[in-house]
Chains A and B, each alone.
Chain A
């Protein structure tokens, strides 16, 4: 009797023997017939990773990506049939993947691509009115909590991850500048858009994501950048439907 554990192990390990008890129509060993299943698993999961991480693929080249995907899918098969989110652990895998170590920014590029995909499938939300912040009394503003859209994602990188992403997705994009970048993924309609944040913007948005009031988020931003420009970042959030509610000091 062929158990599914044995079948699975042989599917994921190309050097493993085909389980006995599997045959062709003439009773001969399954051989290449088993390889069809092996190939279906590897090809379909590689395809899912190619679709999810096109910029990582472009950076390493098609052949390198296929080989790398093969190592990843065998060591990290999907844990759910919901393949739309397959690859959550790909960025962490890349951190430890020896042959790609020279591309130090690769894991963060993968994080950005995963964030774009998560944003695409995230819940819909209605933005606040453009004048909702201006309507607050000035003394209430710093205690207010700004609630972010469910499709918002933040990637904080030591590398110019937005510049690298753009240089590999847009024609005639400028070469990435050196230095760290904070990238905000927004989704004003149904298409996620990555935006580079000005200095301090990453600390600010991270604090908002943790549910901290506006004043504390500003303080966190100013720790990173003394010249933090609050109105510029608020304008980015308002322009991209990223704020869904404002609640007063006492509200949760």
Chain B
């Protein structure tokens, strides 16, 4: 059992080595609730609690789960002019999204691009009325901040909100639970963002998440997050959920994990993220281009330039999970690999193994059979539409 030995060694190392990992303000709560903590993006994070990944996953799909995502970066772009349009104009230099057209109180999925048309990070952008509010990935937050400072400081102040925590309440019962503590917040619709008091604590709430379920993400001062999390966990529907279930939930929902399914080498068209680039920034749009890599990205979206690969959903035909890194082949026996699995595992709600990866357009049509190499054997998988579990956003 190699994995066990590794775990034992890591535990031993944690006991003796000087602390190198950061902790979120909910660290004590995680420990008290029996979390198994693992290093993730420089933080000591709960991968699961006592009940385990499978039950946590299923509970989130049927009731409600509370996730600590305080490791993620929260960044404010404050326009020096006081006009939010100036911050939007500045951010549009770095992302291919329509930020100027994002109404106050609304949120949008976005990504920072590089000159080759690849992705530096994906993020959520909120028009908070007089400023923009960004949520970025933990592993990228320092680089993202530097990137913003290098390109928008003529028009905006860039403020990292490191004194704020972030929690997500996800699942079909999330709205009913939140309504008890904050009736107004529960009346929001998908991708709305607004300040609300929750049990007397001032929060910034969005109706969004990373599970495919209805739910909320709640930004809250670090000093108050433990009281808020405890209040939410007191509600009978709510369980604390670790990163393990967060990963299987987002995979079933067909959502990309940065650094795995998308990275500096994947373009939006390859990654199946064309939907996230609004018309106004595309060829022929009023504000076409003007972001890094537009020359590579926009012709692909207009189908004037070919893509060499596409992100696809994959369903192994057997029960064996096919994991990240597995090479994909067009043929059961011969040939060179044609693609790679970028995320894969067991989908508890699908009750079967699921994966996503990249394949050439010739193999990327739904229903195509490809083969993954697992422990020296080629296992058949079928290209399948995503999401694997339907989204249930409250639009």
Tell whether A pairs with B: no
A: residues with CB less than 8 A from B are none
